[in-house]
């Protein structure tokens, strides 16, 4: 299961400081798979593992994480374990209050793992872990204040202020998908209405594309694809965007306008030097960043009196969760 990327004798050069020669293990519990890795102090993955999530059995999840950690630590000096989980984590970083897609409800996962693993263990939200990885080793590495928006099926987020991850007083800061952007707007899965998730997510993009397909004109090819496959999927849309289809690009620009306006509000609150856009939709690159930037400037308060932040796409797409979880655990175990 464990696939070492470096044979034991071939590790990266050991840096000057003692603490930094200790690796950390990152575990990313997802809805369909659990990923794990031994990560160096430079964010390098030294060994990794990946298995299907026993999503309906919380005891099996704990067993699997323990087994994965035991396998991964073989042959490495590991100082800490960071576990990233989807959902609400308490401020003490020990309990998963609620994870929508897996069977964790008020689960004291830190304590359950600590009983069986003799390493410093911390729990973090998966979006926070991914954002931290971008801040330390990816698109946010040159700044002190970064806001990351993850545009996947929903909209997630992570916030770094003054070189620290913003966890919030109750542990659930950075839930950026649930900023309200339209009074009495579209209903959201969170129970509220008008959340940016309903206007700036991959699911919203599909809704917009379907709307354009319905009216013909530039929506012609969208309508064709929909008729051919029975429905439009993210894959169809991504292909049409890459081909420059005007209907698909119009949907992407509409999404970008919502995200850009939300970023203007986030500038007023958080004032980051850089916005990192991640998630599946960010693979559109400049085609997405351009309407975001344009809309941001249109909606920016006191434009002209404020330096313009950077807008960039995420860099550590696949490994961000495990790399960030490991690095947060290292920071936690060895405060500087």
Give the binding site for its own copies (CB under 8 A): 88, 97-98, 143-146, 157, 159, 161-162, 164, 166-183, 188, 190-193, 195, 261, 264-266, 268-274, 299-303, 305-307, 309
Which of 117/181 has CB closer to its own copies?
Answer: 181
Measured from the CB of residue 240, what is the shortest distance to its own copies in angstroms? 27
Measured from the CB of residue 310, what is the shortest distance to its own copies in angstroms? 10
Cα separation, 278 vs 154, in Å, equals 12
Which of 244/304 has CB closer to its own copies?
Answer: 304
Measured from the CB of residue 249, what is the shortest distance to its own copies in angstroms? 22
Which of 61/159 has CB closer to its own copies?
Answer: 159
Measured from the CB of residue 88, what is the shortest distance to its own copies in angstroms? 6
Give every strand in the sheet of 96-99, ordered side by side. Answer: 88-89, 96-99, 104-107
- Identify the CA nearest to 146 among candidates 118, 165, 126: 165
Which of 40/172 has CB closer to its own copies?
Answer: 172
Measured from the CB of residue 84, what is the shortest distance to its own copies in angstroms? 18
Measured from the CB of residue 162, what is the shortest distance to its own copies in angstroms? 6
* Alpha helices (H) along the chain: 58-73, 109-114, 126-137, 197-200, 202-214, 220-229, 234-242, 246-270, 286-299, 320-333
* Long-range Cβ contacts of 281-284 (<8 Å, 24+ apart): 281/151, 281/152, 281/201, 281/202, 281/205, 281/234, 281/252, 281/255, 282/151, 282/313, 282/314, 283/238, 283/313, 284/238, 284/241, 284/252
Which of 171/291 has CB closer to its own copies?
Answer: 171
Which of 205/270 has CB closer to its own copies?
Answer: 270
Which of 185/280 has CB closer to its own copies?
Answer: 185
Cα separation, 124 vs 81, in Å, equals 11
Cα separation, 255 vs 201, in Å, equals 8
Measured from the CB of residue 196, what is the shortest distance to its own copies in angstroms? 9
Q: How many helices, marked H, and strands, marked E, lie in the chain?
A: 10, 14
- Identify the CA nearest to 71 among candidates 95, 56, 51, 57: 51
Say how many residues make up the chain: 336
């Amino acid at each position: 299961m464990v696939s070492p990327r470096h044979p034991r004798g071939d590790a990266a050069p050991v840096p000057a400081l003692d603490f930094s020669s200790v690796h950390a293990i990152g575990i990313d519990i997802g809805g369909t798979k659990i990923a794990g890795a031994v990560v160096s102090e430079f964010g390098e993955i030294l060994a990794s593992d990946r298995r299907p999530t026993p999503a309906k059995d919380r005891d099996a999840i704990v067993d699997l994480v323990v087994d994965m950690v035991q396998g991964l630590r073989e042959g490495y000096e590991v100082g800490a374990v960071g576990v990233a989980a989807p959902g609400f984590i308490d401020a003490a970083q020990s309990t998963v209050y609620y994870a929508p897609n897996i069977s964790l409800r008020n689960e004291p996962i830190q304590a359950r793992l600590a009983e069986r693993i003799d390493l410093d263990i911390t729990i973090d939200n998966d979006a926070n872990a991914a954002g931290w990885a971008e801040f330390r080793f990816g698109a946010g590495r040159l700044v002190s204040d970064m806001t990351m928006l993850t545009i996947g099926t929903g909209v997630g987020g992570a916030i770094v202020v003054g070189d620290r991850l913003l966890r919030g007083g109750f542990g659930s800061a950075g839930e950026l998908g649930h900023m309200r952007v339209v009074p009495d707007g579209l209903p959201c899965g969170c129970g509220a209405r008008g959340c940016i998730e309903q206007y700036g997510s991959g699911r919203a993009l599909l809704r917009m594309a379907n709307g354009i397909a319905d009216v013909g004109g530039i929506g012609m090819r969208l309508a064709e694809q929909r008729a051919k496959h029975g429905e439009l999927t993210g894959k169809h849309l991504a292909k049409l965007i890459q081909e420059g289809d005007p209907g698909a690009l119009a949907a992407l620009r509409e999404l970008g306008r919502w995200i850009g306006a939300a970023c203007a509000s986030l500038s007023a609150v958080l004032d980051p030097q850089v916005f990192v856009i991640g998630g599946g939709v960010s693979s559109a690159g400049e085609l997405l960043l351009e309407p975001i930037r344009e809309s941001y400037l249109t909606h920016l308060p006191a434009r002209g009196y404020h330096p313009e932040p950077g807008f960039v796409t995420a860099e550590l797409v696949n490994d961000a969760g495990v790399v960030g979880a490991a690095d947060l655990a290292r920071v936690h175990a060895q405060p500087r």
